[in-house]
Structure 1
Amino acid sequence: MTKQADDPKQILIPTVIDQEGHVERAYDIYSRLLKDRIIFLGGRVDRDVANLIIAQMLFLDQQDVDADVRLYINSPGGSVPAGLAIFDTMNYIKSDVHTICVGQAASMGAFLLANGAKGKRSILPHANVMIHQPWIDGIGGQVTDIEITTRELLKTKNMLNKILAEKTGQSLDKLQEQVERDYWLDASEALKYGLVDNILSGPRAGARQAKK
């Protein structure tokens, strides 16, 4: 098992052994998942995480444009610019991206979940989703700089709301009202809202419930 070097918690990353013919190869768990076209977003979205996910998507798209990429999401959200970089890459590559919410997809995590290919946005039964307006830490500086930052924030907020309204089928007015504060949805509510297309009950059972 190897350690994730830049993680202050020093989380252990398992190593798995894969049999390839008569040869055994050791992979860290994420590399082994990537071999099966699975990408895992399991934390906050920041520039480093975004760059890693983008690189994996570009690699898999080059490998086979006709095969889906599965993006599992268990994330509290994070940076809007970093999330939008992933969002644009999902739309840029030719492969369909099948998004699956495991545990939680909040904020930018929910935005990426909703951006999965049509009919290929899934959630596990006890996962939940949260959408809200963009969040930023305290703004400081000169008044003019604060005004410029505020204008940019409002522009970003309006852009994200329009995209999310298109992805969910909700009216823009309704969505804008709901995201003024944290808006939480369980799996069934996320399905009804249009954030996902189905609820997964297991790999053998497939989709338990499809959006009507």
Structure 2
Amino acid sequence: MWRSCSARFFPATRLLSSPATSPATAVNHPRSYGLIPMVIEHTSRGERAYDIFSRLLKERIVCINGPISDDTASVVVAQLLFLESENPSKPVHLYINSPGGVITSGLAIYDTIQYIRSPVTTLCIGQAASMGSILLAAGAPGERRALPNSRIMVHQPLASGIGGKAFDIFSHAEEIMKMHERLKLIYNKHSGQPLERIEKCLHNDTFMSPEEAKEFGLIDEVIEHRPIALVADAVGSESGGRRDNNGAPPIAGAGKEQS
């Protein structure tokens, strides 16, 4: 299996889902240790409990935490498609903290980001390494950001567990090189860097600060605080999109019925 990760080997993560835990929670929080925060929402119809990741999904926030696997891709792709069906013109906010993972799983998420009509903003928190950096760069132009203490890393694909007949090994090697060329073209598309510079960076593990990633073209902005526009979007979503006479969203909680 071809992997693209910041460490050559990492232990397999078993994704568990208890009766009180949604599949989205299990995948987006693979090392949850059984502790998933619950949010109680008060409405005119009473109280409603959400796990924290399902509540974030209501705000059009999707999280990728930990290694990228087929399970991760399955849930993230479903979330992106669902949010597009809800409102194709409204942005989706993708938060990334990942060391990388299986290349084909990451490309499934990447292709879905490009496929849906909703613009996808990306934000690196912690790290976006290998396939994580591909997904970070895949965001809408001008909407790719990183927090100041995050790290971004790019490198060439890694292969593990390949064995068998000589021609089978040769076939796998050819496929890995094709995948390497494909990843170079993706970096080229989203960063604008020449293929020669990308090849040099991918030859070994290349770690970047947010400022270096911005210079390279993987992100557009280094931020320390949430942009005002995103705050307004969040408040507008919470208020059901209502606006006051000046066109601004109302203060959260104002004018709501209390149960």
Q: TM-score, normalised by structure 2?
A: 0.76
- Change in Cα spacing, 1:206 to 1:126, as seen in structure 2 (3 Å) is farther
Deviation at 1:13, TM superposition (A): 1.0
Whether 1:147 and 2:170 are equivalent positions in the alignment is: yes
Whether 1:177 aligns to 2:206 is no
Give the residue type in structure 2 aligned to 1:68.
P
**Equivalences for 1:15-34 in 2 at 5 Å?**
15-34=38-57
Question: How many correspondences in the alignment?
Answer: 207
Deviations for 1:148-185, whole angstroms, at most 9, x for unmatched residues?
00110000100111110121111101110111100000
Greater strand fraction, Structure 1 or Structure 2 = 1
Farther off after superposition, 198-207 or 105-114: 198-207
Provide the secondary structure at the position in 1 that maps to 2:204: coil
Query: Paired residue for 1:115, among 138, 147, 160?
Result: 138
What CA distance in whole angstroms lies between the structure 1 residues aligned with 2:188 and 2:155?
12
> How do residues 35-184 of structure 1 correspond to structure 2 at under 5 angstroms?
35-184=58-207
Measured in 2, the distance between the counterparts of 1:8 and 1:102 equals 16
Q: Residues of 2 paired with 1:90 and 1:49: CA distance?
A: 14
Report SS of the residue matched to 1:139.
coil
Q: Contact 1:200/1:206 (CA < 8 Å) preserved in 2? A: no
Q: Which has the higher contact order (CA 8 A, sep 6+)?
A: 2
Do the aligned partners of residues 194 and 11 (structure 1) sit closer, same or farther apart at CA in structure 2, a change above 3 Å counting? Answer: farther
Q: Can you give the 5+ residue segments of structure 1 that lack an aligned partner in the other structure?
A: 208-212
Letter in 2 for 1:101: C
Stretches of structure 2 that go unaligned for 5 or more consecutive residues are 1-17, 231-259
Which range moves more in the overlay, 150-159 or 6-15? 6-15
SS in 2 for 1:179: helix
- % same residue: 42
Cα-Cα RMSD: 2.0
**2:216 maps to which residue?**
193
Q: Distance in 2 between matches of 1:82 and 1:9?
A: 21
Q: How many Å separate the matches in 2 of 1:47 and 1:198? A: 30
Larger of the two Rg values belongs to structure: 2
Q: Distance in 1 between matches of 2:32 and 2:120?
A: 30
Question: Residues 132 and 70 (structure 1 numbering): CA distance in 2 closer, same or farther, change over 3 Å?
Answer: same
Cα offset, 1:201, TM superposition: 1.3
Q: Structure 1 stretches (4+) deviating beyond 6 angstroms?
A: 3-6
CA distance in 1, matches of 2:63, 2:177: 31
SS in 1 for 2:77: helix
